[in-house]
């Protein structure tokens, strides 16, 4: 089964789905499920987009997908660009990340069960899912860049000085890509991210950054996002391109 994580706009692709609340040991998650299509949609910020990024229950969200036997996740993330050549209105595919969050629950392994776990993140994003994303973007001729995703705590936008610092190490900045990618990896799930570039970051842009600018650009990209998700759902290939080792990641990680 495939899982899609994103914003409220993606509900347009699943008009026959059933809304369910899944209770997990980490909390509850609300999803739309279409068992006939083998697809689950999860709204990261809630169906009404009223949960800020630093208050999202990432552990419950990913664990709910795991309990529903989702084995492959496409996450849609909105980001700001740190580089002039990564333009608003384009797509970005992370191949690595750095995180500067502060208060998030970021692991399923806190030692309570006697396990100490150190997972390998030399390849954080599933190469099979990434391959499929690239194939779809190429088929539509949608431009995209690849590089390093910087995750910040939020909910505020970053300062000019912070952006100048991040620019030395990454290509885009977002608030939701971490710890999703790590939690999915810990559960052996295949996880890939497709980022919509909604704005230039503070200091990169010549004008103050506003929420309106961000959401206006996301709205302009909505049809492209829906096209990509529909193509991803209809792709029945079990494996494409490079074969991943996501499901066996814990094999050499437990002390």
pLDDT in tens, 59-88: 999 999 999 999 999 999 999 999 999 999
DSSP secondary structure string for all residues of 53-83: GGG--HHHHHHHHHHTT--EEEEEEEEEESS
Sign of torsion over alpha carbons 19, 63, 125, 196: positive
Instruction: Kindly give the interhelix angle for 127-140 and 211-234, rounded to the nearest 10 degrees.
Output: 100
The residue with greater pLDDT, 210 or 48, is 210
Given a cut of 50, whether residue 239 has pLDDT beyond it is: no
What's the token pair of residue 89? Answer: 């209105």
Give me the pLDDT at residue 15, please: 60
pLDDT in tens, 13-27: 656 678 888 999 999
Q: Give the Cα separation of 108 and 241 in Å (integer).
A: 30
**Contact status, residue 107 vs residue 245, Cβ threshold 8 Å:** no
CATH assignment of 2-248, among 3.40.50.620, 1.10.10.10, 1.10.10.370, 3.40.50.1580: 3.40.50.1580
The per-residue pLDDT for 103 is 92
Q: How far is it, in rounded angstroms, from Cα 145 to Cα 135?
A: 13
pTM of the entire predicted model:
0.92
> How far apart (Å, rounded) are the C-alpha atoms in residues 104 and 26?
13
- Predicted confidence at residue 14, as pLDDT, reads 58
- Whether residue 238 is predicted with pLDDT greater than 50 in this model: the reply is no
pLDDT at residue 40 is higher than 50: yes
For residue 10, is pLDDT > 70? no
Inform me whether the pLDDT recorded for 242 exceeds 70.
Answer: no
How many other C-beta atoms are found inside a 10 Å radius of the C-beta of residue 247? 13
pLDDT value at position 13?
62
**Residue 166, both tokens:** 């991040």
Residue 9 is predicted with a pLDDT of 54
pLDDT for 16 equals: 64
Domain ranges of the chain: 2-248
pLDDT: which is higher, 29 or 50: 29
| Amino acid 47: pLDDT | 65
Burial class (CB in 10 A: 0-12, 13-18, 19+), 192: buried
Task: Round the average pLDDT of the chain to a whole number and report it.
Answer: 89
If pLDDT is split at 50, 70 and 90, which confidence band does 91 have? very high
Each residue of 117-129: pLDDT tens digit? 999 999 999 999 9
The string of pLDDT tens digits covering residues 153-210 is: 999 999 999 999 999 999 999 999 999 999 999 999 999 999 999 999 998 877 777 7
- Does the pLDDT at position 220 exceed 60? yes
| Percentage of residues in the chain having pLDDT higher than 90 | 64
């Amino acid at each position: 089964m495939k899982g899609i994580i994103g914003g409220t706009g993606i509900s347009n692709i699943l008009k026959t789905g059933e809304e369910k609340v899944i209770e997990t040991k980490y909390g509850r998650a609300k999803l739309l499920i279409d068992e006939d299509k083998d697809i689950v949609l999860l709204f990261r910020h809630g169906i009404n987009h009223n949960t800020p990024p630093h208050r999202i229950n990432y552990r419950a969200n990913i664990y709910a997908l795991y309990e529903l036997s989702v084995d492959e996740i496409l996450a849609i993330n909105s980001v700001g660009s740190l580089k002039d050549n990564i333009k608003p209105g384009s797509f970005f595919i992370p191949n690595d990340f750095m995180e500067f969050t502060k208060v998030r629950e970021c692991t399923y392994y806190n030692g309570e069960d006697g396990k100490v776990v150190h997972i390998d993140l030399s390849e954080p994003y599933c190469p099979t899912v990434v391959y499929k994303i690239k194939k779809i973007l190429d088929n539509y001729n949608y431009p995209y860049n690849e590089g390093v995703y910087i995750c910040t705590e939020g909910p505020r936008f970053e300062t000019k000085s912070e952006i100048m610092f991040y620019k030395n190490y990454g290509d885009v900045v977002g608030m939701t890509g971490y710890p999703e990618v790590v939690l999915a990896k810990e559960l052996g799930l295949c996880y890939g991210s497709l980022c919509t570039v909604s704005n230039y970051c503070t200091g990169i842009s010549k004008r103050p950054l506003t929420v309106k600018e961000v959401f206006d650009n996301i709205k302009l990209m909505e049809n492209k996002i829906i096209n990509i998700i529909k193509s991803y759902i209809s792709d029945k290939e079990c494996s494409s391109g490079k074969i991943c080792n996501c499901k066996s990641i814990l094999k050499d990680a437990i002390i």
